[in-house]
Chain A
Amino acid sequence: MTKFTLTDKDIPRQWYNLGADLPKPMLPPLGPDGKPITPEMLAPVFPMNLIEQEVTTQRWVDIPEEVLELYSIYRPTPLYRARRLEKFLGTPARIYFKNEGVSPAGSHKPNTAIPQAWYNKQFGIKRLTTETGAGQWGSALAFACSLIGLECKVFMVRISYDQKPFRRLMMETWGGKCVPSPSKETEAGRRILAEHPDTPGSLGIAISEAIEAAVTDPTGKTRYSLGSVLNHVMLHQTVIGLEAKKQLELAGEKKVDVVIGCAGGGSNFAGLSFPFVLDKINGAQIDIIPVEPTSCPTLTRGPFVYDHGDTAKMTPLLPMYSLGHDFVPAPIHAGGLRYHGMAPLVSHATKLGLLSPLALPQLECFEAAITFARTEGFISAPETSHAIAAAIREAKKAKEEGKEKVILFNWSGHGLMDLRGYEQYMAGQLSNYSLPQEEIDRAMEVLKSYPAAVV
């Protein structure tokens, strides 16, 4: 068999909360006043039923019947065995992928957009706001709001609004109102526009606008929705991995050796992998691999940090990576290292050694995506191509080792809105993002003529 499908009644009835099983619990984040953030502090933007999920310590959280019914529009999503890819690679490994691209929005994002919209509706909310870049999350939320009967306002970063008209049109087709950010609809937007009328915007500005629109609604019937990073988002996405477990059983697999997902904010990776992380905590031998681009790594190298060589700040700033470096600056150490934009649960599981992050270069990922399209047929989102490339690496490794490994990865979304990248790759216009030495030397010469910043 190539495709392993479940019926509507097989959709998991509960989400899985990894936070309940981590060997070392995560500490609650501290607010600006140094005290733990309380539910009341978040109440202006989230309904209390979702805040409860954000902080829950329960292992399993029931999925409401109405959410299950809405999930059934596209769930259970199929699990495929990539037989043609296996044959192409000549690997003894058995490769499976979970196809989350079959959702109406084309990605895994509706797995959390639907329950978020539902819980808001239950709480009496009439309108959701959010921010979006290229529009994957904005379109998922607009889709969910149309199902649930909520108004949806999406602040789309201006540069993305101009570059990605089709995602905007998807949002509008589902009844969402998409405004370019910065907009004149909020104080935050008006302030930026007054200072920089031609600004292309940023996610930082867009989120400020979305929050302000929720907080300042005089009716109190507007809340904000976030599609990544937060615990309740990870929770909702675990429906992916829970289904995959059932499907692997259907496929006759007793165990899985490698679980892979691309990791940006962490939600699609968490969705597939967290149920398998539980198995690993309980003793299973599984390599669980979040994959990210080498061009902007967070989990594998950590963010760059600058630090003064001494605490008195007398010596110049020293650039360094906060991971993989012998010296981690004391303030960073004390504060706990955090990764740019990565879900705290994924960061924490990485620090505990439960995950084995991997960074891959752009060309290898595009090559993998092309191979995948020409063997399995599906055209992948650029982010998803990282998971494919990692799966191919693992399959080749299994071939070298002569092992019949079972490899599972999350095919998190299609790339039909992102064909420009494929065009550039096939035209040979992409590179692995490293400047030739002579270019670096030339740039260094130019820079030498400027005074360095004085501390």
Chain B
Amino acid sequence: MIDQFDELETRCPMLGHSVKFYYCRTTSGDEPCRRLPDCWFERIPVHDYIRTFFSVEQQERFFQPPPPKLVTLVELIERAKQSAASSERNGDRSQAGSAQTSTAG
């Protein structure tokens, strides 16, 4: 039962208010918060829970040392730039597409 602890509450040290376990295990859609083991080890058998319900890749993500904040920022900057470039390309394509359509019409 992946949802067996869902109603338990704790104070999220990142958000600064109370959250349910359900939030911690689904923070980013299907992805749990990487602090889940740090925040819940006192209350539940968190190792077993994680081993049981999360993939090895997810487990490894949990237990990798977090990158320094500046590194995260640089990665996010790059991602944002790529995303913007990709949108621009798509936008250009769709504009080109509509131009062709209108010409044909």
- Contact A160–B15 (Cβ < 8 Å): yes
Instruction: Write out, one digit per residue, whether chain A residues 400-426 have a CB within 8 A of any chain B CB (1) or not (0).
Output: 000000000000000000101100000
Tell me the residues in window 428-455 of chain A with beta carbons closer than 8 Å to chain B beta carbons. Answer: 433-435, 440, 443-444, 446-447, 450-455
User: Which chain B residues border A216 with CB–CB below 8 Å?
Assistant: 80-81, 83-84
- Contact B71–A447 (Cβ < 8 Å): no
- Contact B73–A447 (Cβ < 8 Å): no
Instruction: Give chain A nearest CB distance to B6 CB in angstroms.
Output: 13
Is the C-beta of B66 less than 8 angstroms from some C-beta in chain A?
Answer: yes
B70 CB contact (under 8 Å) in A188, A230, A298, A341? A230
User: Which chain B residues border A135 with CB–CB below 8 Å?
Assistant: 16
- Contact A340–B83 (Cβ < 8 Å): no
Tell me the residues in window 27-50 of chain B with beta carbons closer than 8 Å to chain A beta carbons. Answer: 27-30, 33-35, 37-39, 41-45, 47-49
A-B contact pairs, 27 of them (CB 8 A): A29-B71, A32-B74, A41-B77, A134-B15, A134-B16, A135-B16, A160-B15, A200-B26, A202-B28, A215-B80, A229-B69, A230-B70, A264-B13, A303-B35, A335-B65, A337-B65, A338-B66, A341-B14, A341-B66, A434-B43, A435-B44, A440-B44, A446-B1, A452-B51, A453-B51, A453-B54, A453-B55
- Contact A31–B39 (Cβ < 8 Å): no
Q: Please, how many angstroms separate the alpha-carbon atoms of A205 and B29 in the complex? A: 10
User: Which chain B residues border A224 with CB–CB below 8 Å?
Assistant: 73
User: Which chain A residues border B72 with CB–CB below 8 Å?
Assistant: 207
Instruction: Write out, one digit per residue, whether chain A residues 47-77 have a CB within 8 A of any chain B CB (1) or not (0).
Output: 0000000100000000000000000000000
From A92-100, A113-121, A273-281, A288-296, give the one contacting chain B: A288-296
Is the C-beta of A305 less than 8 angstroms from some C-beta in chain B?
Answer: yes
Tell me the residues in window 134-164 of chain A with beta carbons closer than 8 Å to chain B beta carbons. Answer: 134-136, 157, 159-160, 163-164
> Would A45 and B73 be within 8 Å (CB), given that A187-B83, A196-B29, A296-B35 are in contact?
yes
- Contact B62–A304 (Cβ < 8 Å): yes
User: Which chain A residues border B41 with CB–CB below 8 Å?
Assistant: 304
The CB with the most chain A CB atoms within 10 A, among B30, B70, B74, is that of B70
The CB with the most chain B CB atoms within 10 A, among A215, A337, A420, is that of A215
CB-based closest 6 A-B pairs: A133-B15, A134-B16, A306-B63, A196-B29, A212-B80, A215-B80
The residue of chain A having its C-beta at the shortest distance from the C-beta of B17 within the complex is A134
Is the C-beta of B89 less than 8 angstroms from some C-beta in chain A?
Answer: no
Instruction: Give chain B nearest CB distance to A450 CB in angstroms.
Output: 4
- Contact A41–B14 (Cβ < 8 Å): no
Q: Please, how many angstroms separate the alpha-carbon atoms of A451 and B54 in the complex? A: 11
- Contact A305–B11 (Cβ < 8 Å): no
B78 CB contact (under 8 Å) in A32, A157, A304, A452? A32
Is the C-beta of A363 less than 8 angstroms from some C-beta in chain B?
Answer: no
- Contact B77–A211 (Cβ < 8 Å): yes
Q: Please, how many angstroms separate the alpha-carbon atoms of A205 and B33 in the complex? A: 12
A306 CB contact (under 8 Å) in B1, B13, B59, B71? B59
Instruction: Write out, one digit per residue, whether chain A residues 334-375 have a CB within 8 A of any chain B CB (1) or not (0).
Output: 011110110010000000000000000010000000000000
Residues of A within 8 A of B (CB): 29-32, 37, 41-42, 44-45, 54, 133-136, 157, 159-160, 163-164, 187-188, 192, 195-196, 199-200, 202-205, 207-208, 211-212, 214-216, 224, 226, 229-230, 264, 293-298, 303-307, 317, 319, 322, 332, 335-338, 340-341, 344, 362, 382-383, 418, 420-421, 433-435, 440, 443-444, 446-447, 450-455
- Contact B43–A447 (Cβ < 8 Å): no
Q: How many A-B residue pairs have CB under 8 A?
A: 205
Instruction: Give chain B nearest CB distance to A447 CB in angstroms.
Output: 4
- Contact A446–B4 (Cβ < 8 Å): yes
Q: Please, how many angstroms separate the alpha-carbon atoms of A298 and B54 in the complex? A: 23
Instruction: Give chain A nearest CB distance to B72 CB in angstroms.
Output: 8
The residue of chain B having its C-beta at the shortest distance from the C-beta of A157 within the complex is B15
Instruction: Give chain B nearest CB distance to A87 CB in angstroms.
Output: 31
User: Which chain B residues border A295 with CB–CB below 8 Å?
Assistant: 10-11, 39, 42-43
A443 CB contact (under 8 Å) in B45, B51, B56, B60? B45
User: Which chain A residues border B94 with CB–CB below 8 Å?
Assistant: none
B77 CB contact (under 8 Å) in A44, A294, A337? A44
User: Which chain A residues border B49 with CB–CB below 8 Å?
Assistant: 443, 447
